[in-house]
Amino acid sequence: MTAPKLALSDNAVTDITADVVVIGTVQQDGGGFTLAPGAEAVDAVFDGSLVDVLTSLGAGGKAEEVVKVPTLGRLKAGVVLAVGLGKADPTAEQVRRAAGAAARALTGVKRAHNFLSVVDLRAAIEGTVLGAYTFTQYKSEAGEGPVGRVDFASPNTKETKAVLKTATAIAEAVATARDLINTPPNDLFPASFAERAVKLGEAAGLTVEVLDEKALRRGGYGGILGVGSGSARLPRLVRLSYKGPKAAKKVALVGKGITFDTGGISIKPAANMEEMTSDMSGAAAVVASVVLAAKLKYPLEVIATVPIAENMPSGTSYRPGDVLTMYGGKTVEVLNTDAEGRLILADAIVRAGEDDPDYLIETATLTGAQVVALGKRTAGVMGSDDFRDRVARIGQSVGENAWAMPLPDELRSDLDSRVADLANVTGHRWGGMLAAGQFLKEFVPDGLDWAHIDVAGPAYNSGGAYGYTTRGGTGVPVRTIAAVLADIAENG
């Protein structure tokens, strides 16, 4: 992506050099709206009439509403862009979404000055960078680019500079994940994905290891090899390791990297299969997150284990009825080759457990059942009770809707196999997301604090843009993982 340049500015409104000034509006409980903090000086230039002017143009303060007002020479900027924050006492997420909506409306603008930062600086920065995101690599005519530069109304202090650095790094990590997800599968396949992960890791100073199909076979990674057996593009396992200053805790990250999922022999319906280019969203998120940990110098040790395969039907594909011997020795009867993500994750989870981490965070576009249960914008979080709840709470706090889900004991017996240690699916459709969590639990070391984040819905936006979420890959749950790592760094 081409990101806007960002800066802090405490210039008086009459001294601002910009093409557009961005302010916020807030709905009032009794009807109507008021201007958000930071807009007072702009209102003064309009002799206190800005609310009346905006009202005449249809403004009401509704969340993500965008209304433009010409300044008619009152400011050096030609336009005031008022964006709705929604209900009074706006949260960070309201600011983030409003900033994203404003950024999307600033396409082609050279320079903007944003007063939403007076409400919440970090949220305004994150929303702006993410809302301005574009992916035009494959367009012959890219059109107008995102806003070129955004100055945020803020004192230029050591503390605010730190906020700018952190917020920018997190938003750029999300954008990195989006870029990977949006790259089509003819260009992003196991070997090329591994190469891009290595390049990102080496640039961040990480220790990098890649296992090709020969090394996977020697190591006994039966899940990854089985899933990848039907493709001419052979699987990989990537390991990216970061050790920060005074690292007190070790965190394992695992992400599902299916670069394209046809369902294999248990082939998917053709409708919307093109969205399966996003089936490596979990892998993209953990690659971006470990690079982010290095960039922000978290006092942690973070190791990402990333299994990558392409699930294709062919004469060499694994079949329903096959039994795979997973890394670590457990055997799995394959009942459905479209339940492939859990097979490659099982290998990776066992390998990650050998590093003796204090915590394990694993994420995947794992089950359609997640979308049925929680919709397209809410991730399901399963795992050990306390850590699961901690991850879900933090996910909600950063605006990546996460919801804690149970792992009912009765679903484990539904995974019993006639011929192997367990089957990869149950014989029914009930609680599919939870059954997948039970399957993964079988490969998590006893006593380890772990969380699985199912982002089958939230990882990819097939509809129109909203807030700071553009079409295509969303980068969820990078911000959740980043916040959990920061929380572990601070609180253990």
Count CB atoms within 10 A of the CB of residue 442.
17
- Is 214 a known ligand-binding residue? no
- Is 29 a known ligand-binding residue? no
393 classed as catalytic: no
In terms of phi and psi (left: phi > 0; alpha: psi -120 to 50; beta: otherwise), the region of 131 is alpha
Residue 196's Cβ-side half-sphere holds a number of Cα atoms within 13 Å equal to: 20
- Is 52 a known ligand-binding residue? no
Q: Are 258 and 307 in contact (CB under 8 A)?
A: no
- Is 261 a known ligand-binding residue? yes
Q: How far apart are CA 383 and CA 388, in angstroms?
A: 5
Least Cα distance to 455 among 312, 283, 339 occurs for: 283
Could you say which of 268, 330, 377, 393 is catalytic? 268
Give the angle subtended at the CA of 357 by the CAs of 237 and 456, to the nearest 5°. Answer: 55
Report how far apart, in Å, the C-alpha atoms of 300 and of each of 153, 246, 259, 356 are: 33, 7, 29, 14
217 classed as catalytic: no
- Is 165 a known ligand-binding residue? no
Count CB atoms within 10 A of the CB of residue 374.
20
Q: How far apart are CA 455 and CA 367, in angstroms?
A: 8
Least Cα distance to 316 among 236, 235, 237, 226 occurs for: 226
Q: Which helix (H) or strand (E) holds 157?
A: none
Is the link from the previous residue into 406 a cis peptide, with omega within 30 of 0? no
Could you say which of 96, 111, 249, 342 is catalytic? 342
Q: How far apart are CA 289 and CA 483, in angstroms?
A: 10
Token reading at 323: 């039994």
Q: Which residues are annotated as a binding site for Mn(2+)?
A: 256, 261, 279, 338, 340
Q: Which residues are annotated as a binding site?
A: 256, 261, 279, 338, 340
Provide the annotated active-site residues: 268, 342
